[in-house]
Structure 1
Amino acid sequence: MIYQESLEFLKDLAANNNREWFLDNKERYDKARENVIEFTRNLLTEMHKVDPGIDEALDPKKCVMRIYRDIRFSKNKTPYKNNFGISLPTTGLRPGGAEYYLQIQPGNSFIGGGYWMPEAEHLKAIRQEIDYNAHDLRQIIDAPEFIKLFGDFKNQEQLKSVPQGYSVDNENIDLLKLKSFVAWHKITDKEIVNKNAAGQIADVCRHIQPLNVFLRNALA
């Protein structure tokens, strides 16, 4: 489980996002990070039951993302993220492809899955898969439980125009115009500190798993 103290650290960090405060509170950060790593270890075990494509033997430290922000090209010069991010790839630790992502942040935690903003070649392959097998994707995203958990799948980044190679009267143009293929579900602070949080998050991901399979097949 995620400890309340870990959330309190993130709240305080958001209010004091500077190097001096962080160094003075480094021990609190280390404890919070170790808590997140241990939680990730348990989450990997639960997630493997839902999606065998996740290797439960992954090093959880490698799944927990750095808290340090890259501020080189950002107008926001605060040096630290105000959340812990956990990446759960379904094909090892290689970047790019369908995965799951958990964000732990007071008042803004969520679990998500799918493929956010695929690179050009991957996007082309996914669109081709949709063109061939849109019925399979619609069965996933139109399922009542999917809509209840994640809302309207089509309500995310889309092209304003018709993608190259497809016509405006294509029966699946609403799906073909998508630029991202992501489902995400908000998690309350009360839920994230629950002792059964890892299992409950995995249960939500059970409904994302078919989407990730569809996307993985497109990229195979």
Structure 2
Amino acid sequence: MDFKDLFQFLEHLQKNNTKEWMDANRKWYKSLRMDFIAWLDQLDMTMEQLDDHYYSTPGKKGINRINNNLMFHPHKPIYKDHFGAGLDKAPNSADFYIEIGVKQCLLAGGFWRPDSKTLRSIREGIDYNGEELQAILDSPSFKKQFGELYKDERLTNAPKGYSYDHPHIELLKNKTFAVVHEFDRKEVLQHGFDDKIKNVYLEMLPFRRYLNNSASV
């Protein structure tokens, strides 16, 4: 995958974020999209070898549309400033998301604002065995890769059915259970970027497995 070409395309697109420009450069976009899908296919095969429970997700199924959804976000530009995709996309499971863009490049995983049923199941899992999740989050290697849980909306008070003095009350207050690892552009362009993705995937795996086990109850 020629990420340098991808960055150049995205930079031009952000300066000319119109359907007219995209139509004039449709061949360039389609070529990059095909290359990105092929790169995702290679990652998909790599991940499948790393994890017996990996859910094979071909690049064409994983890649996201480059168009913003203007129905719900009418003030956004027509086109996104990144190429994004999800792999290991088993139904109702924690995300593993890849984004390569002009403003940020990242890997993310977990549940972002899950539906009420899933959120309730995750909280029940924390109530039953929050020590395991806390141990994952406190692991030095995990902290090095991700820091802490992604900061998003949280409850001010204890969730319904849980006491204020619950030993894992701070975890229970979360509405999002996700982590993010960012790359700078230099890392993306360097040889060995795929190996870095593999390492981040493996470090994230216990976290995502914990969430999946809780959400499936």
Which range, TM-score by smaller chain? over 0.9
| Partner residue in 1 for 2:40 | 40
Tell me the CA shift for residue 54 of structure 1: 2.3
- Matched-pair contact (CA < 8 Å) for 2:158–2:169: yes
Is residue 27 of structure 2 the alignment partner of residue 19 of structure 1?
Answer: no
Distance 1:72 1:153 in 2: 30
| Contiguous gaps of at least 5 residues in structure 1 | none
Deviations 1:79-103 (A, max 9, x none): 1111111111342xx3x42120001
- Matched-pair contact (CA < 8 Å) for 1:158–1:178: yes
Is residue 144 of structure 2 the alignment partner of residue 145 of structure 1?
Answer: no
Tell me the CA shift for residue 55 of structure 1: 3.3
Tell me the CA shift for residue 52 of structure 1: 2.8
| TM-score (normalised: structure 2) | 0.93
| Partner residue in 1 for 2:61 | 62
Distance 2:55 2:194 in 1: 16
Q: Report the RMSD for the aligned CA atoms in angstroms.
A: 1.6
Distance 2:29 2:110 in 1: 30
| Partner residue in 1 for 2:5 | 5
Q: What is the identity percentage for the equivalent residue pairs of Structure 1 and Structure 2? A: 32
Structure 2: which amino acid aligns with 1:128?
A: E
Q: Give the secondary-structure state (helix, strand or coil) at the position aligned to 1:101.
A: strand
Tell me the CA shift for residue 77 of structure 1: 4.5
Structure 2: which amino acid aligns with 1:69?
A: N
Tell me the CA shift for residue 61 of structure 1: 0.7
Match of 1:157 among 147, 150, 153: 153
The equivalences for 1:1-220 within 5 A come to 1-56=1-56, 58-91=57-90, 94=91, 96-153=92-149, 155-220=151-216
Q: With CA pairs under 8 Å and 6+ residues apart, which has the higher RCO, 1 or 2?
A: 1
- Matched-pair contact (CA < 8 Å) for 2:130–2:168: yes
| TM-score (normalised: structure 1) | 0.92
Distance 1:217 1:194 in 2: 36
Tell me the CA shift for residue 199 of structure 1: 2.2
Deviations 1:97-119 (A, max 9, x none): 21200011024010011111110
Q: 1:110 to 1:2 in 2, by over 3 A?
A: farther
Tell me the CA shift for residue 157 of structure 1: 3.1
Structure 1: which amino acid aligns with 2:66?
A: I
| Contiguous gaps of at least 5 residues in structure 2 | none
Tell me the CA shift for residue 169 of structure 1: 0.9
- Matched-pair contact (CA < 8 Å) for 1:107–1:188: no
Tell me the CA shift for residue 18 of structure 1: 0.5
Q: Give the secondary-structure state (helix, strand or coil) at the position aligned to 1:208.
A: helix
Deviations 1:2-51 (A, max 9, x none): 43111110111111110001111111111111121111011112222333
Tell me the CA shift for residue 161 of structure 1: 1.8
